[in-house]
Homo-oligomer: A and B are copies of this chain.
Amino acid sequence: MPNKLPVGILGATGIVGQRFIQMLEHHPWFEVAWLAASDRSEGRPYAEAARWRLKTNIPARIANMNVSPASRAGAPKIIFAALDAAIARELEPQFAASGCAVVSNSSALRMQADVPLVIPEVNGDHISLIETQSWRRSSGGFAVTNPNCSAIGLVIALAPLHRHFQLEAVMAVTMQAVSGAGYPGVASLDILGNVIPYIKNEEEKMEEETQKLLGTLNGGKVVPAPFAMSAQCNRVAVEDGHTESVSVRLKKKAKPEELIAAWNDFKAEPQQLRLPSAPDRPVIYMTASDRPQPRFDCDLGGGMATAVGRLRPCNVLDWKFTVLSHNTIRGAAGAALLNAELLKAKGYLG
């Protein structure tokens, strides 16, 4: 594979790190060349260091690759980062400062003013914020982030509505899968037969990230979208797939068929550029009265599509509907991967 770009994965043993490895296995542009994780894993073959939690096998080449220390030495110039926020806050700037393209799934830098928080279908233009980063000027390195797993499906569903009808208010109540909490993550004693109506910092992230993602670039800065946004986050006994009950108020009044058309017709740069991980249709409106459902629908578009259903009037705002998105594919590893593909298409990866 002489023409593929070598990439590294920071946090390679976690649930999102595993998804990176799975999604990169047959990738046409990128090839995993370096795996790093916490001290405990260093120097061990990946298959031993990771507690693999996916249904597909660990790719043989990766299984035998040794886990490196999480430091710049030996790392390739493109880094996918799937670190806990506290560690990311320290490491990601180091890698960017040393010349790496850091494509991060962590929350550490997402709200930093000069760091693009990007969903390629929604605000690919925000990538130009890279040019305002001091890392970029000093070393050529930079950092780009994708949103929280609970924000991304929501924002993809909101984007065509916002474009056509302008959002005035959004309320979202989530029912989030346990894989969103990593591994070991949620204890079975906490979630079997239960709902946990609290996920630390999640509601704050959903609210501010949604507004940054749908915001506009103005003079090298992102002006957050001005609509009101309120989130309530719950954990449920689901393995993969975040389901959200959403209500919106729109400035421009619309008929339900217009909203559905806005979703079904939604295409953007990743589709036009035919990025390898881009779904044909970023949003799929399901007409069955009881869909989408995480167990049956979260793999639509290879886990990269957002499913929407149950559009109906809301007595308080204007419309309500259900959104479903795969939280570790579109909501994490796939999100970063699509960001990297957009960066490559735009010439940022050399």
Contacts and interface: CB of A to CB of B under 8 A. Distances in A.
Interface of A: 15, 53-55, 169-171, 173, 175, 178-179, 183-198, 207, 228-230, 232, 234, 236-239, 243, 245, 247, 289-296, 299, 309-310, 314-317, 320, 322
Contacts of A237: 188, 192-193, 236-238
A169 B54 CA distance: 36
A232 B55 CA distance: 25
Contacts of A320: 230, 232
A44 to B, nearest CB: 16
Contacts of A245: 173, 197, 232, 234
Contacts of A247: 171, 230, 232
A230 B316 contact: yes
A228 to B, nearest CB: 5
A188 B178 contact: yes
A175 B178 contact: no
A318 to B, nearest CB: 10
B189 A15 contact: yes
A180 to B, nearest CB: 10
A184 B170 CA distance: 35
19 contacts: A53-B189, A53-B190, A173-B173, A173-B232, A179-B189, A183-B187, A184-B184, A188-B191, A192-B239, A193-B193, A193-B294, A195-B236, A195-B243, A195-B293, A197-B309, A197-B322, A198-B289, A230-B314, A230-B317
A279 B187 CA distance: 32
Given A183-B187, A197-B293, A197-B310, 13 more contacts: A55-B295, A175-B234, A175-B236, A178-B188, A179-B189, A185-B188, A189-B239, A195-B236, A197-B243, A197-B309, A207-B315, A234-B243, A237-B238
A296 B188 contact: no
A309 to B, nearest CB: 7
For the complex of A and B, 4 pairs with smallest distance between CB atoms: A184-B187, A198-B290, A173-B173, A194-B295
Contacts of A188: 178, 185-188, 190-192, 237
